[in-house]
Structure 1
Amino acid sequence: MLYKELAELYKRLEKTTLKTLKTKFVADFLKKVEDPELLEIVPYLILGKVFPDWDERELGVGEKLLIRAVSMATGINSDEIENSVKDTGDLGESVALALQRRKQKSFFSQPLTIKRVYSTLVKVAETTGEGSQDRKLKYLANLFMDASPEEGKYLARTILGTMRTGVAEGLLRDAIAEAFRVKVELVERAYMLTSDFGFVAKVAKLEGDEGLLKVKIQVGKPIKPMLAQMVANVREALIEMGGEAEFEIKYDGARVQVHKDGEKVIVYSRRLENVTRSIPEVVERIKESLKPEKVIVEGELVAVGEEGRPRPFQYVLRRFRRKYNIDEMIEKIPLELNLFDVLYVDGKSMIDVQFIERRKTLEGIVTTNEWIKIAENLITKNPEEAEEFYHRALDLGHEGLMAKRLDSVYELGNRGKKWLKIKPTMENLDLVIIGAEWGEGRRSGVLSSFLLGAYDPIRGDFVPVGKVGSGFTDEDLIEFTKMLKPLIKKEHGKFVEIEPKIVIEVAYQEIQKSPKYESGFALRFPRYVALREDKGPEDADTLQRIAELYQLQERMKGGK
């Protein structure tokens, strides 16, 4: 299948904002993919990716290397291409212009196929060691040498991760269901179990509904985590739980999913990204601590400070980001793993087993030690006893408590009321940057105020809920400007529209009703807390979540 057919799909997707039309375009394209092996590749390319988020392979190609590759392929000076980006605002468009003006053309040029593009990008990702940059350069130059201007534009965007076609996971899920005439809820279930759209599309095409029903958890492929809602206090939690609940300490760390298959251990972040290499000491401790041959467990990684007290979760994210001098970070930021659930044990899925039984199973398969523990818990009907446990957790420096319904099964990707969070303050929000303003004075040349969005499933888009400009250091603003510049879609004077990719955590005084924003809500005195690199836009808080927090806030204030 030719790559130009995929480029044509990207072009059609860019030209419409209608979700139904985008879904039809993607579904029609998927129907044309006859090769099952190719079908495993195509869904991620449609999303503008090469690999699933949980695949540890990365292209490791920045703008400068890509420009050099295009320069090598076209004979046009790198500086000319860089200057062109200042005019177009999009490296993809500048690559297309360079390919139109190319000064050299290979006599042995062959049309690009999707398989060739994919296999070359795999080579790029797997090229490491001395001389790797030069080899990557040659691989990429060979692709651009045979690319048409339009193909080059979308190839560049795929390589840099800046595809702007408006295709997200939900739309791709619906398109797979439409293409192969299968139930959308079965596509959703299979994806929640495997986090692999390529695998799901292949099963849907070859085996239909029956095949999707048979999809099971696979060690080595992360599952979508169950989520929790917030309640005002332990009494409200007990009422929601039917009078009795399991309370666990809510640790201020980073949630992880651990997969063990014999001596192989993989650790995935909350965003289901493979963070195994950054925490080698945790991996070794897991091998010693988890008894089953094959097992999937969940826990919270906590950075440990003086006297064993927890440090803010940003310290764990620093560990996740570190790729070099890891031994030094092991000393500086020691990590403790607190396990709280088990999802799979030696061939048996545990997700349909009641929580109380999963907890007993977890306690029986873990050898605890100083660094690997089971989350401290309390099962009670007594609100005073739960309240005492809550204050003990806060005194130890933790966030609060989790309350879990004893008979609850594990609901993949669902934020229901079977799991609840209890914290002393209103919960911070994780929101997506959808716009920004250029600064003035000493902040001239950097983006210094950010428009925040929450996803509205009715509109199928992110709607604004406020602007944040406080809490940032000058260094933060320089970093955010670098991150966001490639994501700028349009400029209106000082204001720029941003592709919704970057998630940040925001604190605020309260949520207010507001006619100013389409969402109907506004954050009062929002303040930047942290960049949430462990979350993608699909993990950020939704408009429904903000409405729920508004109602909770009113109850906490004594409102009705």
Structure 2
Amino acid sequence: MKYAELADLYRRLEKTTLKTLKTKFVADFLKKTPDELLDVIPYLILGKVFPDWDERELGVGEKLLIKAVSMATGVSEREIEDSVRDTGDLGESIALALKKRKQKSFFSQPLTVKRVYDTLVKVAEASGERSQDRKMKYLANIFMDAQPEEGKYIARTVLGTMRTGVAEGILRDAIASAFNVKPELVERAYMLTSDFGYVARVAKEEGNEGLSKVKIQIGKPIRPMLAQNAADVKEALVEMGGKAAFEIKYDGARVQVHKDGDSVVVYSRRLENVTRSIPDVVSAILESIKAERAIVEGELVAVGEEGRPRPFQFVLRRFRRKYNIDEMIEKIPLELNLFDVMFIDGESLIETPFEERRKKLEGLVDESEKIKIAVQLVTSNAEEAQKFYEKALELGHEGVMAKRLDSVYEPGNRGKKWLKVKPTMEDLDLVIIGAEWGEGRRAHLLGSYLVAAFDPHSGEFVPVGKVGSGFTDEDLAEFTRMLKPLIVKEEGKYVEIEPKVVIQVTYQEIQRSPKYRSGFALRFPRYVALREDKSPEEADTIERVAQLYEFQERFKAKR
């Protein structure tokens, strides 16, 4: 398959905002995709090279990409950089450089999807001495044979800025349409494996029957089950049917652990592989989990003085660290509090009631200094539950989780079988879709960010407010650096941002509002933290905002 065909798909996707048309374009492309490319095409369509859980990274920034294009075309790096200032898009500037190409390969031949993909794999796997030079040469090699539009989309793939508006929902529906299978079975298979390439192959080769038989696989993370809110422990008990398991809600980073013999892989909530950054926890897991093969879930907590928890951002600092890890182990010790088990030695437990899963977890784990089982109270007594909740807060935790004893594990679902009880309104994780340039000394910085929640019905991110407070000058500088490559268009001081960056936002309350398409507005929103552990798809939905609004109104009525 020629890469020009994929570039043409990108172009058509970019030109339409209609979800139905995007789905049709992708479905038609999948139908004609050769079998040998079916594992990789879904990710290339999403503008990625690998699934999020694959630890390989391209490790290529704008400067290296410009050097590679300059090497391939003979156009100077300065000229390409100047062009970026005019176009606002490195992909477009690379297309222009390819049009001005001053040198051509004598053995030039049309690019294929396989050649581009194989080259990007080599770029990701290049390591050691002079690896940056090798990456540059690999990229220059394909840019030598790239047509301008091909070069634009190769660059966007490398930088992760595709801008075609294709997210997981469109890809799911396109797979269902292409291979005439049920969307809910595609969704189920994806929730269990987080691998669209694998799901597309099963859909094509085995149809609905094959998709219905997809099982959990060690090494492919399961989409986490999610929770809703309860106003207090009494409401939680009523929702749970009068009796529930209450667990401490730790202020940490949720992780999923896959153990296969002497191998352990740890995935973040965003399903990114964070294993290398926490070798101390990995060693403790190997000693504590008694099964040969298992998948367990827990909350990774940073431990401070007197054993009190530190904010989850400290855990994220551990995740980000790639060098001098031993130093960080000393500075930020971690503790893993396990609360669920989904797989033990070949047996899937997601259809097993929570009460039984908990017993299996207790039999699976030998607790240690670093590996604990989440503290739990099973009760039908509201006073006991209230005391447990107050004790959790006293110890510095966020609150408690209430779980139905008969609940099965539902990957990716946010239902009422798990409920959160916290003393304050739940913060929201929202996606930045716009920003404004500052004034005065902040004129060169982006601030006052327009934030949005995802609307699953329209497939769009809909605004719920502007966040301008809570940022330090250092924060604004970092966000400006991060968001400038994601600018889609600019009108005066306002810029439209590709929805890629998730931030945690606190607020005084949620109000009904005709100002935004969402129908809601946050009152006095304030920036709390960058949520690097969450993808835009993992951010809160507009349905979630509506649920919190209803919860807020019930809470007001009780007061």
TM score, norm. by length of structure 1: 0.99
CA contact (8 A) 2:19 2:458 kept: no
Q: Name the SS for the 1:466 alignment partner.
A: strand
Counterparts of 2:201 and 2:333, CA distance in 1:
42
Alignment of 1:170 onto 2:139: no
What are the equivalent positions in structure 2 for 1:138-217 lying under 5 Å apart? 138-217=137-216
Counterparts of 1:483 and 1:53, CA distance in 2:
19
Corresponding position of 2:496: 497
Q: Report the alpha carbon displacement of residue 34 of structure 1 after superposing the two structures with TM.
A: 2.5
Alignment of 1:385 onto 2:384: yes
Corresponding position of 1:13: 13
Q: Report the alpha carbon displacement of residue 473 of structure 1 after superposing the two structures with TM.
A: 0.5
Counterparts of 2:212 and 2:503, CA distance in 1:
36
Q: Name the SS for the 1:248 alignment partner.
A: strand
Counterparts of 2:558 and 2:550, CA distance in 1:
9
Counterparts of 1:364 and 1:93, CA distance in 2:
58
CA contact (8 A) 2:435 2:450 kept: yes
Q: Name the SS for the 1:255 alignment partner.
A: strand
The one-letter code matched in structure 2 to 1:548 is: Q
Q: Name the SS for the 1:70 alignment partner.
A: helix
1:299-326 C-alpha deviation (Å, 9 max, x unpaired) = 0000000000000000000000011111
Q: Percent of pairs identical after alignment?
A: 78
What are the equivalent positions in structure 2 for 1:381-530 lying under 5 Å apart? 381-530=380-529
Q: Name the SS for the 1:337 alignment partner.
A: strand
Q: Report the alpha carbon displacement of residue 517 of structure 1 after superposing the two structures with TM.
A: 1.1
The one-letter code matched in structure 2 to 1:34 is: P
Q: Report the alpha carbon displacement of residue 459 of structure 1 after superposing the two structures with TM.
A: 2.1
Counterparts of 1:77 and 1:286, CA distance in 2:
52
CA contact (8 A) 2:309 2:396 kept: yes
Counterparts of 2:459 and 2:187, CA distance in 1:
17
Alignment of 1:4 onto 2:4: yes
Counterparts of 1:214 and 1:468, CA distance in 2:
45
Counterparts of 1:186 and 1:518, CA distance in 2:
31
Root-mean-square deviation over aligned CA pairs? 0.8
Q: Name the SS for the 1:558 alignment partner.
A: helix
Counterparts of 2:260 and 2:137, CA distance in 1:
37
Q: Name the SS for the 1:351 alignment partner.
A: coil
Corresponding position of 1:54: 53
Corresponding position of 1:232: 231
Corresponding position of 1:104: 103
Counterparts of 1:366 and 1:26, CA distance in 2:
45
Corresponding position of 1:120: 119
1:342-395 C-alpha deviation (Å, 9 max, x unpaired) = 000000000000000000000000000111000000000000000000000000
The one-letter code matched in structure 1 to 2:75 is: I
Q: Report the alpha carbon displacement of residue 559 of structure 1 after superposing the two structures with TM.
A: 6.4
Counterparts of 2:47 and 2:297, CA distance in 1:
29
Corresponding position of 1:360: 359
Alignment of 1:536 onto 2:535: yes
Higher alpha-carbon deviation: 484-493 or 350-359: 484-493
The one-letter code matched in structure 2 to 1:383 is: A
Corresponding position of 2:371: 372
What are the equivalent positions in structure 2 for 1:303-322 lying under 5 Å apart? 303-322=302-321
1:417-440 C-alpha deviation (Å, 9 max, x unpaired) = 000000000010000001000000
The one-letter code matched in structure 1 to 2:510 is: I
Q: Name the SS for the 1:156 alignment partner.
A: helix
Corresponding position of 2:62: 63
Counterparts of 2:519 and 2:29, CA distance in 1:
37
1:197-221 C-alpha deviation (Å, 9 max, x unpaired) = 0000011111111111111100000
The one-letter code matched in structure 1 to 2:489 is: K
1:462-487 C-alpha deviation (Å, 9 max, x unpaired) = 11110011100000000000111111
Counterparts of 1:428 and 1:422, CA distance in 2:
13
Counterparts of 1:34 and 1:477, CA distance in 2:
46
Counterparts of 2:401 and 2:191, CA distance in 1:
23
Counterparts of 1:545 and 1:211, CA distance in 2:
33
Counterparts of 2:485 and 2:34, CA distance in 1:
35
Counterparts of 2:447 and 2:7, CA distance in 1:
35
Corresponding position of 2:342: 343
Alignment of 1:333 onto 2:332: yes
Counterparts of 1:272 and 1:315, CA distance in 2:
18
Alignment of 1:25 onto 2:25: yes
The one-letter code matched in structure 2 to 1:463 is: V
Q: Name the SS for the 1:330 alignment partner.
A: helix
Q: Report the alpha carbon displacement of residue 520 of structure 1 after superposing the two structures with TM.
A: 1.2
Q: Report the alpha carbon displacement of residue 514 of structure 1 after superposing the two structures with TM.
A: 1.2
Counterparts of 2:357 and 2:308, CA distance in 1:
28
CA contact (8 A) 2:169 2:459 kept: no
Counterparts of 1:104 and 1:120, CA distance in 2:
21
Counterparts of 2:509 and 2:126, CA distance in 1:
49
TM score, norm. by length of structure 2: 0.99
Counterparts of 1:84 and 1:241, CA distance in 2:
60
Q: Name the SS for the 2:208 alignment partner.
A: helix
Counterparts of 2:220 and 2:459, CA distance in 1:
28
Counterparts of 1:171 and 1:53, CA distance in 2:
17
Tell me how many residue pairs correspond in the alignment: 559
Counterparts of 1:18 and 1:486, CA distance in 2:
24
Q: Name the SS for the 1:223 alignment partner.
A: coil
Counterparts of 2:118 and 2:289, CA distance in 1:
37
Q: Name the SS for the 2:557 alignment partner.
A: coil
Corresponding position of 2:71: 72
| Runs of 4 or more above 4 Å deviation | none
Q: Name the SS for the 1:336 alignment partner.
A: strand
Counterparts of 2:143 and 2:462, CA distance in 1:
37
Counterparts of 2:491 and 2:226, CA distance in 1:
38
Counterparts of 1:366 and 1:153, CA distance in 2:
51
Higher alpha-carbon deviation: 507-516 or 135-144: 507-516
Corresponding position of 1:250: 249
CA contact (8 A) 2:72 2:103 kept: yes
Counterparts of 2:288 and 2:311, CA distance in 1:
25
Q: Name the SS for the 1:557 alignment partner.
A: helix
Counterparts of 2:200 and 2:549, CA distance in 1:
39
Counterparts of 1:214 and 1:416, CA distance in 2:
24
Q: Report the alpha carbon displacement of residue 117 of structure 1 after superposing the two structures with TM.
A: 0.6
Q: Report the alpha carbon displacement of residue 458 of structure 1 after superposing the two structures with TM.
A: 2.3
Counterparts of 1:229 and 1:163, CA distance in 2:
33
Q: Name the SS for the 1:40 alignment partner.
A: coil
